[in-house]
Amino acid sequence: MAPDEADLAQRFAAGDPDSIRVVYQSYGRLVFSIAYRVLRDAGLAEDATQQTFVQAWRAAASYDPTRPLGAWLTTIAKRVTIDVHRRERRHRGHDDIDGTAASELITLPPSVDHLDDVAEVHSALDELSSQDRTIIRLQHFDDLTHHEIADRLEIPLGTVKSRSHRAHRRLAGVLVHRRTVNGTIDGGGGSDERG
Amino acid sequence: MNEDDLTPEEIAELERVDALLADPSLWTEPPAELQEKVVEAIAQESGRLRRRRRTRYALAAVAASVVLAVGVTVTVQQVHDDPVQFSATVAPTELAPQAHGDVSLTRTQSGWRITLKVEDLPRRDGDEYYEAWLRNEAGQRVSIGTFNEGDYVTLWAPVSPAEFDTLTVTREVLDDDPGPSGEVVLTAHPQRR
């Protein structure tokens, strides 16, 4: 762990209330991503994110600050999110079965392995520069061609191609590095089942 | 993308996460106000924990003083006066046979705060909702609130459950009739704790 992260983990484990905002700022988006991946509803994902941090705070005394805080929070987030999913499926499934939101929730949640993938890729993207993330987002999430990205960003096509190549190379490098170093994922290490 | 300078391992990683990179979960940002909600929820949680600890310490101190003052009658007074409370298990009718849960009623300065926790009660939306009532022996009814689903409902009543001792929940439809529909799905008879 980086010194800053180790210090933050120590403060959180010791119950320092001033650490809460910093922990949220560091891991709130990660936790929200995991919740959104399963629940597909921003409101429910908000609830699950809030519950995750409250449960983490309750269990802070049992957290070993030498272990990655992100992995520990990811473990709690997965459990909380699956609980919220089950609750919603139970309640909406009976009576709103034709509703869009309900039918989405009736489907099974992604497996734990897939949630680990979300945590892994999310953490890897966080290591990239804002410019690299933007290119990857436009290409994959917004499904734009290089020409369309060039128009959107008002930059030459050749620049888009070189930035895209660089961004993907960095992302691949981070993913390979994390797998090699950690054996698993740092932000969402599924091996830590405490909490 | 020119893949010439990527290792096979890196190419495999990019192929593995390709579909995930298009998933909204990676790109949807939490609302800005969520941070304050989280901080506030944890502050409330910390307050609850502190109060529990204070009460435990106070009770332990009282118990210790009792042991030390053998032979002396000591009136133990709790740090916080216990509020008057009623509670009951709710019973379902044939209109919601799977429903189960409990209800607790606490006297406060503002009136009676009623917490209803019911599972497996189908949610009602749109023009359809649930309404809860308290009824006395003379058949007088007071509406104590409306809700969509029974997971965790807070209701308020201006009358005491000691007199209005039957709680019912009815299925209602938005119309011009403010009275109960008669479609009772839950009943309870709260008793003082």
DSSP classification of residue A189 = -
Chain B residues within 8 A of A57 when measuring between CB atoms? 42, 45-46
Mean pLDDT of chain B: 82
Same domain, B95 and B33: no
- How far does A177 lie from chain B, in Å, by closest CA? 10
- Among all chains, which residue has been given the structure tokens 């106070």? B58
- Among all chains, which residue has been given the structure tokens 């403010």? B178
Domain count, chain B: 2
A147 to chain B, any CB pair closer than 8 A? The answer is no
Of B20, B49, B81, the residue at which a domain comes to its end is B81
- Using the beta-carbon criterion (under 8 Å), do B26 and A25 form an inter-chain contact? no
Please name the residue of chain A whose CA is at the shortest distance from the CA of residue B17: A121
In chain A the first and final C-alpha atoms are separated, in Å, by 19
CATH of the domain at B152: 2.60.40
> Could you give the CA distance from residue A65 to residue A185 in angstroms, rounded to a whole number?
17
Q: Are A171 and A131 in contact (CB under 8 A)?
A: no
DSSP annotation string for chain B? ---TTS-HHHHHHHHHHHHHHT-GGGTPPPPTTHHHHHHHHHHHHHHHHHHHHHHHHHHHHHHHHHHHSTTS------SSPPPPEEEEEEEE-TTSTT-EEEEEEEEETTEEEEEEEEES-----TTEEEEEEEE-TT--EEEEEEES--SSEEEEESS-TTTS-EEEEEEEESSS--S--S-EEEEE--EE-
Q: What percent of chain B has pLDDT over 90?
A: 30
pLDDT at B125: 85
Same domain, B77 and B100: no
Q: Is the pLDDT of residue B38 over 70?
A: yes
A49 to chain B, any CB pair closer than 8 A? The answer is yes
Same domain, B77 and B92: no
- Using the beta-carbon criterion (under 8 Å), do A25 and B2 form an inter-chain contact? no
- Using the beta-carbon criterion (under 8 Å), do A54 and B38 form an inter-chain contact? yes
Same domain, B148 and B104: yes
Of B42, B59, B81, the residue at which a domain comes to its end is B81
Same domain, B95 and B185: yes
A140 to chain B, any CB pair closer than 8 A? The answer is yes
> Could you give the CA distance from residue A194 to residue B23 in angstroms, rounded to a whole number?
28
Chain B residues within 8 A of A46 when measuring between CB atoms? 30-31, 34, 37
In chain B the first and final C-alpha atoms are separated, in Å, by 71
Same domain, B139 and B175: yes
Closest CA to B149 of A67, A92, A193: A92
Same domain, B32 and B98: no
Alpha helices in chain A (DSSP H): 3-13, 19-39, 42-58, 69-95, 100-106, 112-126, 130-136, 146-153, 157-182
Same domain, B93 and B188: yes
Residue in B34, B45, B124 nearest the CB of A54: B45
Same domain, B90 and B124: yes
Q: Are A32 and A115 in contact (CB under 8 A)?
A: no
Amino acid making up residue A143: D
- How far does A96 lie from chain B, in Å, by closest CA? 8
Pairing of β B153-157 and β B141-147: unpaired
Chain B interface disruption, residue of A169, A174, A178, most B CBs within 10 A: A169
Residue in B9, B27, B34 nearest the CB of A176: B9
Q: How far is CA B157 from CA A191, B153, B177, B184, in A?
A: 50, 13, 21, 19
Give the domain extent around B180: 85-192
> Could you give the CA distance from residue A35 to residue B151 in angstroms, rounded to a whole number?
21
Tens digit of pLDDT at every position of chain A (195 positions): 666 788 899 999 998 888 999 999 999 999 999 999 999 999 999 999 999 999 999 999 889 988 889 999 999 999 999 899 888 877 765 544 444 444 444 455 666 667 888 999 999 999 999 999 999 999 999 999 999 999 999 999 999 999 999 999 999 999 999 888 765 444 443 333 333
DSSP classification of residue A76 = H
pLDDT digits (tens, 9 = 90+) for B39-65: 999 988 777 666 665 666 666 666 666
Domain A3-182, architecture per CATH? Orthogonal Bundle (1.10)
> Could you give the CA distance from residue A138 to residue A145 in angstroms, rounded to a whole number?
8
Q: Are A19 and A40 in contact (CB under 8 A)?
A: no
Of B81, B101, B134, the residue at which a domain comes to its end is B81
Q: Where are the domains of chain A?
A: 3-182
Q: Is the pLDDT of residue B101 over 50?
A: yes
Same domain, B70 and B99: no
Q: Are B21 and A120 in contact (CB under 8 A)?
A: no
- Using the beta-carbon criterion (under 8 Å), do A140 and B29 form an inter-chain contact? no
pLDDT digits (tens, 9 = 90+) for A86-103: 888 777 655 444 444 444
Same domain, B35 and B97: no
Structure ipTM over 0.95, yes or no:
no
Same domain, B68 and B141: no
Q: Are B185 and B96 in contact (CB under 8 A)?
A: yes
Q: Is the pLDDT of residue B143 over 50?
A: yes
DSSP classification of residue A17 = T
